[in-house]
């Protein structure tokens, strides 16, 4: 069966079949290998790409920009103070204007509904670069990294520890369900995912044979893990409740004791970044217990976080190429 994603949006992984996700990962692998070999096809020659950011970004922004230049496209960064979206102009109007000038639109922001509305009205592919609810391009980079390490996704034991109801937990849970993984959210019960998103994941798991579990027990959740994943304890927009989160999530910090509880000497560590892992940032000086992962694990041989960060670029490039001008084979 040949996969055709031209013209599609990427708003959440729930909208993609396992075969479509594998197609994007295979294309990302190919584009990564070709870039390393100095081969550039300019699949996006003469395309114009709008990058809307309501929230800050290092990786996602740079991944889109570098991927655009590698493939011959022109990116335009539109920060939260640069355009009228949602303030002086409806999202639908902005979508129709940008859609007449640009060939594709990336959106990072707060409400997931905003990216859905952009997609409904733009008339060109819209890609979700993170909302409060989902972060699908991150999961493609995470899965590319897992495949590089383990050669497969199906059956991988994947423990996500920390805030179990944020955009990362939601997206990983959906992605893992789609790809037949043994996925656990390890979090306090008060931070278990929205039941609707959990139900959605369970539905996909039924089709693929994935296992999706929620537990507040670290010992149970990380047992046999191939991958331990975490994210910051307070996401962008949640800064006011950081103190409360530190108190709630300290028992879920990723550290040596947690790795020992996996019983797997080859367990790998992943993190979407940015991460708190030492006292060398302004916020970690202000909140000394803010670290969701210890320095030992973050800097240790089990950590693939910078390979994972690089993969943001290759997977985002694959998404743009696949939806705008896919290669013939």
Please identify every residue annotated as catalytic: 108, 135, 138, 231, 272, 312
Asked if residue 130 binds ligand CP (CB under 6 A), the reply is: yes
CB of 98 to ligand NVA, least distance (A): 24
197 binds ligand NVA (CB under 6 A): no
Nearest one of 44, 40, 26, 105 to 321, comparing CA atoms: 44
Site size with ligand CP, rule: CB under 6 A: 9
* Closer residue to ligand CP (CB): 67 or 210: 67
Binder among 117, 144, 166, 303 for ligand NVA (CB under 6 A):
166
Secondary structure of residue 96 in the 3-state scheme: helix
User: Which region among 141-149, 152-160, 162-170, 208-216 touches ligand NVA (by CB under 6 A)?
Assistant: 162-170
Tell me which stretch binds ligand NVA (CB under 6 A): 24-32, 69-77, 164-172, 214-222: 164-172
Q: Are 316 and 63 in contact (CB under 8 A)?
A: yes
Of 22, 273, 283, 302, the residue at the interface with ligand CP (CB under 6 A) is 273
| C-alpha pair distances (Å), 300 with each of 158, 165, 272, 297 | 19, 27, 16, 5
Among 60, 171, 303, 311, binds ligand CP (CB under 6 A): 60
> Which residues from 132-151 bind ligand CP, rule CB under 6 A?
138
φ, ψ for residue 198, nearest 5 deg: -60, -45
Q: DSSP letter string over 188-255?
A: -GGGPPPHHHHHHHHHHHHHHT-EEEEES-HHHHHTT-SEEEE--SS-TT-GGGHHHHHHHHGGG-B-
Kindly state the smallest distance separating residue 319's Cβ from ligand CP, in Å: 14
One of 58, 84, 250, 278 touching ligand CP (CB under 6 A): 58
- The 10 Å Cβ neighbour count of residue 21 is 20
Between residues 117 and 138, which has the closer beta carbon with respect to ligand CP? 138
- Span 213-232, contacts to ligand NVA by CB under 6 A: 231-232
CB atoms within 10 A of CB 244: 12
Pick one of ligand NVA, ligand CP, none as the site partner of residue 231 (Cβ within 5 to 8 A by kind): ligand NVA
Instruction: Output 85 or 236, the one with its CB closest to ligand NVA.
Output: 236
Q: Which is nearer to ligand CP, 131 or 264 (CB)?
A: 131
Q: Is 231 within 8 Å of 163 (Cβ atoms)?
A: yes
Residue 58 interacting partner from ligand CP, ligand NVA, none (CB closer than 5 to 8 Å by kind): ligand CP
Q: How far apart are CA 255 and CA 102, in angstroms?
A: 45
CB closer to ligand NVA out of 226 and 292: 292
142 touches ligand NVA (CB under 6 A): no
Residues 236, 273: Cα–Cα separation, whole Å: 12
- Dihedral of alpha carbons 300, 301, 303, 305, sign: positive
- Measured between alpha carbons, how far is 204 from 22 in angstroms, rounded to an integer? 16
Which residue, among 301, 143, 131, 160, has the nearest Cα to 233 in the 3D structure? 160
Q: In the complex, which residues of this chain contact ligand CP (CB under 6 A)? A: 57-60, 130, 138, 272-274
Q: In the complex, which residues of this chain contact ligand NVA (CB under 6 A)? A: 130, 166-168, 231-232, 235-236, 272
């Amino acid at each position: 069966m040949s996969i055709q994603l031209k013209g599609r949006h990427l708003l959440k992984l729930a909208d993609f079949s396992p075969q479509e996700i594998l197609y994007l990962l295979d294309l990302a692998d190919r584009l990564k290998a070709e870039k390393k070999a100095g081969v550039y096809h300019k699949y996006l020659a003469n395309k114009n790409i709008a990058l809307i950011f309501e929230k800050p970004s290092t990786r996602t922004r740079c991944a889109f920009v570098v991927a655009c230049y590698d493939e011959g496209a022109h990116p335009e960064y539109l920060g939260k103070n640069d355009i009228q979206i949602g303030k002086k102009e409806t999202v639908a109007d902005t979508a129709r204007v940008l859609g007449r000038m640009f060939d594709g639109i990336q959106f990072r922001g707060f409400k997931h509904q905003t990216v859905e509305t952009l997609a409904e009205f733009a008339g060109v592919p819209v890609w979700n670069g993170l909302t409060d609810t989902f972060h699908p391009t991150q999961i493609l980079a995470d899965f590319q990294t897992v495949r590089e390490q383990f050669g497969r996704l199906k059956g991988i034991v994947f423990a996500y520890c920390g805030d179990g109801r944020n955009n990362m937990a939601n997206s990983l849970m959906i992605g893992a369900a789609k790809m037949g993984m043994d996925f656990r959210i390890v979090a306090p019960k008060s931070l278990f995912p929205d039941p609707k998103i959990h139900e959605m994941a369970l539905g996909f798991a039924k089709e693929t044979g994935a296992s999706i579990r929620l537990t507040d027990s670290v010992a149970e959740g990380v047992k046999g893990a191939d991958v331990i994943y975490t994210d910051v304890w307070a996401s962008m927009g949640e800064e006011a409740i950081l103190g409360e989160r530190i108190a709630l999530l300290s028992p879920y910090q990723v550290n040596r004791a947690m790795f020992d509880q996996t019983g797997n000497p080859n367990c790998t560590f992943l993190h979407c970044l940015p991460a708190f892992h030492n006292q060398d940032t302004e916020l970690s000086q202000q909140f000394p217990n803010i670290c969701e992962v210890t320095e030992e694990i973050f800097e240790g041989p089990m950590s693939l976080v910078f390979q994972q960060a690089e993969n943001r670029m290759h997977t985002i490039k694959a998404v743009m190429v696949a939806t705008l001008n896919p290669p013939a084979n």
